[in-house]
Amino acid sequence: MKTCTKCKVKKDTSEFSKDKRRIDGLQLSCKECRRNYYLDHREKTIAEAYTYRQAHKEEIAKNKRRYEKEHKEEIAKRRKAYREENMELFREREYLYKYGITLQQKYEMWESQDARCLGCKKEVDINKIHVDHNHDTGEIRGLLCTQCNSIIGLAYENIQTLLSLVEYLREYNHLSLLTT
């Protein structure tokens, strides 16, 4: 138990934030009083912090670079762990950024395609299907399996190239039928 210096109420130690500079390792005032103080002085606190950051930009940037250099591996570990713990959030952001759709919208597209690739018509798992889009306009055309999406990408979305390849295959297949 500890008494808050602001409200003078005796409270459990879990009601106080940590402060390693103090002998008992806890803040002088309870979390509730600190929150109330912050809310009452929020605008002033934000303005002071902004003014400080503007006045000390170079120093702050220098300290940040030094810290990142000294703790490079630790930072990389934390970032990797955070990404792994929040993979769904990262995927959601990626789809919004790249295609302007949510994972839910991708799932609805997949369902509307009967869980099939629009190219080869094979059934494809939701996690292995790709959003096909026009690279010039960004317009989404549908969902394709890895192979169909790669074929379109390798042909640089050029319909004439793809039609020429179809003709080539027809001719080649015709020749192979004659030799057997």
* pLDDT single digits (tens) 72-105: 999 999 999 999 999 999 999 999 999 999 999 9
* Proportion of the chain above pLDDT 70, given as a percent: 96
| Per-residue pLDDT at 58 | 96
Read off the pLDDT of each residue in 17-38 and give the average, rounded to a whole number. Answer: 94
CB within 8 Å of 131: residues ≥ 6 apart: 95, 98, 99, 101, 106, 109, 140, 143
CA–CA separation, 100 vs 5, rounded Å? 51
pLDDT band at 176 (very low <50, low <70, confident <90, very high): low
- Domains in the chain, CATH or no CATH each: 24-85 (no CATH), 101-163 (3.40.1800.10)
pTM (two decimals): 0.54
pLDDT at 180: 45
